Structure 1
Amino acid sequence: MSGGGTGRAVLFDVDGTLVDTTYLHTVAWWEALRQAGRRVPMSLIHRTIGMGSDQLLDRLLGEDHDPAEAGAVTAAHRTLYAEYWPRLAPLEGAAELLRACAERGWTVVLASSAHGDELAVMRRAVGADDVVAGATSSDDVEASKPAPDLVVSALDRAGVAPDRAVFVGDTVWDVAACERAGVPCLGVLSGGLTRQELLDAGAVEVYENPADLLARLDDSLLGRSPGTA
């Protein structure tokens, strides 16, 4: 159960929102699927990035796929994607955005569909752990996005109720998870989706990337001082 504290929290997705990884994941899944004899266009793979790997493979392989095949593809993806770990780069303004939110009194919590070891690598890439109050990953929940579990887990880390939080993410799966958890979602285009796709999914505001949100922070939903209506 989420807490009922009087503070406010901003919850951040990480892949594609703070770190420029969306297309790296797309290529890694594409190669992993090819190794399994599956030829899936990158355009289709890209549309699934942001879901948990189980739900992603349900989409790409069909819900009646062989679990052993899915396990092999997932393992191959992890191996292929790990090759990029030393070179992961934050999106422009990512660390500064986290610090600006913290300076305004928001509790900053990360909520990632990645496994814990991947999240640790991305946190080092962002370089703003000094203002991150907590984090949750797919290791901490039973169901991945678009299920609300990660958002609910992040709320628990922050100790606030849904109406005291705002989420920032880059995919329609982030928006769907937030809607189910009762948390408003700000979208960023750095994951490669269009503004209209995010708005149609239910995002309340959309920005180009973390730097754009930072530049317009005072005019955004996050510009409101914690505790005000």
Structure 2
Amino acid sequence: MTKPVTGVLFDVDGTLVDSVYLHAVAWWQAFRQYDHDVPMARIHRAIGMGSDKILDALLGPDHDSSSDEALIAAHSALYAPHWPALRPLPGARRLLDTCANRGLSVVLATSASRPELDALLRCLDVDSALTAVTSADDASQSKPAPDILEVALERSGLSAEETVFVGDSVWDVHAAAKLSIPCIGLTSGGLCAAELLDHGAAAIYEDPQDLLDHLDEALTSAFRKSLAEAG
């Protein structure tokens, strides 16, 4: 018999903050600066990986990596001017507050760099609801590796058996699966429900508000699927 849910881990970009397409544009411009013509659709589907993974995913593992650091820096420089315009997705603040008020540990587990995370935290303005926060700087590998989620569990004192992860990308789903954490998928990052389900998401909702409106159902269905797969 499973333990009750005592904590919820959240991705941030595309899950709580409407930033995925800004990242895609910034990466597209950065690639063009270094003579890489990468279609925007491919970039969008790679968002959710950290910078340690996204270049190999989009340029190939055998690409000339001599410009990687400069390319990553270019993305950061192109994305940073958008920080003041970032907005929470519908219901994001209320979702985090509601989880915290229910006594659940609320943990942000993102592949964003620390400077980007600071901008996201300013956008969300829900520090009092948070138990812990992690970023790409806290892990040796970003999603779909589970390192960031492992750090999130350690910092919050949670175990995988009593935790749910909420994310918007297939990389979130894969990272959670490596720790046997059920993942609730949101389509607010631009992926369709079918794709997230095909990759193993336990349940799908449109955005944070939709998840909030069905929170009890979501937590229950996620754990039912987890138990069924474990059995």
Q: For this structure pair, what is the TM-score category when the shorter chain's length is used for normalisation?
A: over 0.9
Structure 2: which amino acid aligns with 1:24?
L
Contact 1:6–1:160, Cα closer than 8 Å, also in 2: no
Structure 2: which amino acid aligns with 1:56?
I
Q: Deviations over 1:90-110 (max 9, x none)?
A: 101000000111111110000
Q: Deviations over 1:150-170 (max 9, x none)?
A: 111111121011001000000
Aligned-residue sequence identity (percent) comes to 53
* Aligned counterpart, 2:73: 75
Pick from 91, 112, 115: which aligns with 1:114?
112
Measure the CA separation in 2 of the matches of 1:193 and 1:38.
24
Pick from 136, 141, 144: which aligns with 1:143?
141
Worse-superposed segment, 13-22 or 120-129: 120-129
Residue 216 of structure 1 pairs with residue 210 of structure 2 = no
**CA-CA distance at 1:222 after TM superposition:** 6.3
TM-score, structure 2 as length reference: 0.92
Contact 2:167–2:186, Cα closer than 8 Å, also in 1: yes
**CA-CA distance at 1:39 after TM superposition:** 0.8
Worse-superposed segment, 33-42 or 66-75: 66-75
* Aligned counterpart, 1:20: 18
Pick from 39, 45, 48: which aligns with 2:46?
48
Q: Tell me how many residue pairs correspond in the alignment.
A: 221
Structure 2: which amino acid aligns with 1:68?
S
Measure the CA separation in 2 of the matches of 1:79 and 1:199.
34
Residue 158 of structure 1 pairs with residue 172 of structure 2 = no
Pick from 169, 172, 176: which aligns with 2:170?
172
Measure the CA separation in 1 of the matches of 2:5 and 2:46.
34
Measure the CA separation in 1 of the matches of 2:151 and 2:6.
15
Measure the CA separation in 1 of the matches of 2:83 and 2:221.
33
For residue 164 of structure 2, give the secondary structure of its aligned residue in structure 1. Answer: strand
Pick from 49, 53, 58: which aligns with 2:56?
58
**CA-CA distance at 1:6 after TM superposition:** 8.6
Measure the CA separation in 2 of the matches of 1:182 and 1:216.
23
Considering only aligned residues, what root-mean-square deviation do their CA atoms show, in Å?
1.7
